[in-house]
Chains A and B, each alone.
Chain A
């Protein structure tokens, strides 16, 4: 900066006086005038922590598209408190250390009002403490149980997507009464998989079933056949929650291992988000069941809200991009971005949010939210927000692969997903 000004001709006395005059005029304005001006013209800046690279990149692509669409809708409706919303996107590389740096950048460099959008649990766990220190409201869309478990802090909230514990718990009654009671679980050997292991095994026992074998698979594994002999022959249901790029291999090798006779199979769609069900090897999944946060294929009883949501984000009735039928969305999760941004809007409006000085008011306003009706702002379904645990609860969907499409088989109600509070964040000070 100083170097470029050196090369310019020296400032004339007249222009210097003019500039000073303007500055003095601005200084002479009463405080309220400048304040009101800032309130009407300055956009609200929402820092979007995006998994643009690293293992979460497929999710990041769709979280981005969904968030951009939500912001567009909010701005078309007049913005928040009369101010436009602006997303400030930073890549966190799906890496916890980088995640914390990105949160810091949002707070100090980009002057964001809030941070938002993280999916992978290790990035959330790595970033949330920094957000707490910087007193930056941090809205995650991660479905991890770490928010409701009390592990994080008052500045971290998850109002747009349900957590693993409630999802898993809601699946057990369906699995036990329709598929079988003897379950073998196959899960990745890190926090996300362990959540499934712990909560599902407890939930299935409550239904009179049992987990006959648990097979933990290292996250970086690329071949799976060698693990399958551990599946006991008495197994009636295989429960799988694999994630990452090797998932197709997993399903294919499962098919090759069992050949023509297989037990019932129940999986979490996390395995196949952004993956085309028509991919070679996946025909083996015909007749198996999936948990879906939000059904990828438009169902027969599709709501008007889901229709509008698909149109706004640019997703067709098969869950693929309207521009490229091979570009499959992460439909079961990405609604969470849309709904979270609408919660931020609702919270900012009810607290009269005007700037960073109102951050604690914003959090209190969100904590006060309880019932969230099914609407264009919440297309996945009605929800119940728990201000004490900072976690939202909502219905869960089970779909069955039928002729290569996921067709709704069961909807678990909100009451199936509730569990006793494990923390009260409202008792923590700001």
Chain B
């Protein structure tokens, strides 16, 4: 394949990864930003989103499109509710202590993973995409002294992959609006800034925390639902996703939504492009070195605020 079309293909693939990663990492970042809780079980919430999407689509009739829309609504709600429950029953009782919540979420990780294995099983199961047209992409080339349009072999994307990118952008804009323009966003930011003062002013901090934990989980689950027609739901899928999310969140700055999105783009695109033109291992090495450099020279992340 020529260099131009090849780069285009790598970029498109990278963009799909970036979109999913941005959704997932922003959930992780939100939870840390507001609650100062490092949620190690975040990858499993993503996996649960995918698994519930499979459940919902296999029990809802009316064609793949209806079933998928149902999954898109129901799966994040269930996972969000589970997370709220975990917050009330576990994290709250640990008083959101940073070290103890890490241990608790590691426990949650194993519980969710093993319960999924015991009920859903070890197989990877697919979900039919609501629509999936192969879109060949044209390319321009100088030939015979003029620009000519041609269709390079293999240069294509599917309509569903484009939808994933668009959906992620819309959801992230929604989150941003919620945080900056809505009353609940204001309460969240107040709790983030100083939870004790917020409580003194009558803000129900504990309920805000439960809500934030639920929203963070729902974002991971949403990413899981969106990815499952491309990949499949599998009980171990959360591991790699968690690792990538942590990389993104550390580079972007824990707690900074904008930084998270920029970092997701950076990691997603570089993974797509470097692994195509060099080797996938090199892409991982570079991402890891970047994390190390960020931790040494800018521990708050590229866009993170100063630690208080």
Contacts and interface: CB of A to CB of B under 8 A. Distances in A.
B124 A246 contact: yes
A245 B234 contact: yes
Contact of B9 (A226, A259, A275): A226
A274 B234 CA distance: 13
A229 B1 contact: yes
Given A53-B117, A275-B123, A281-B126, A226 B13 contact: yes
A128 B6 CA distance: 45
Given A222-B240, A249-B230, A257-B156, A57 B117 contact: yes
Given A58-B123, A229-B154, A220 B240 contact: yes
Contacts, number: 80
Task: Pick the most buried of B10, B16, B122, B154: most chain A CB atoms within 10 A of its CB.
Answer: B122
B78 interface: no
Contacts of B134: 256, 259
Contacts of B156: 256-257, 259
A226 B10 contact: yes
A228 interface: yes
Nearest to B241: A222
A228 to B, nearest CB: 6
Contact of A248 (B126, B153, B154, B236): B126
A15 to B, nearest CB: 46
Please classify how large the interface on chain A is, using the bins under 10, 10 to 19, 20 to 34, 35 or more. 20 to 34
Nearest to A247: B124
A61 interface: yes
Given A223-B231, A233-B153, A218 B13 contact: no
A55 B237 CA distance: 11
Contacts of A233: 153
A340 B46 CA distance: 40
A430 interface: no
Given A256-B134, A257-B156, A259-B136, A225 B126 contact: no
Interface string B208-221: 00000000000000
A223 B124 contact: no
A351 to B, nearest CB: 37
A223 B122 contact: no
B128 interface: yes
15 contacts: A53-B122, A54-B236, A57-B122, A220-B240, A223-B16, A225-B13, A226-B13, A226-B14, A227-B276, A229-B6, A245-B232, A248-B124, A248-B126, A249-B230, A259-B136
Q: Give me the 5 closest cross-chain CB pairs, A-B, nearest first.
A: A57-B122, A245-B124, A229-B1, A245-B234, A280-B128
Interface of B: 1, 5-6, 9-10, 13-14, 16-17, 114, 117, 121-124, 126-129, 134, 136, 153-154, 156, 158, 230-232, 234, 236-237, 240, 272, 275-276, 280-281
Interface of A: 53-55, 57-58, 60-61, 217-218, 220-223, 225-229, 231, 233, 245-249, 256-259, 274-275, 279-281
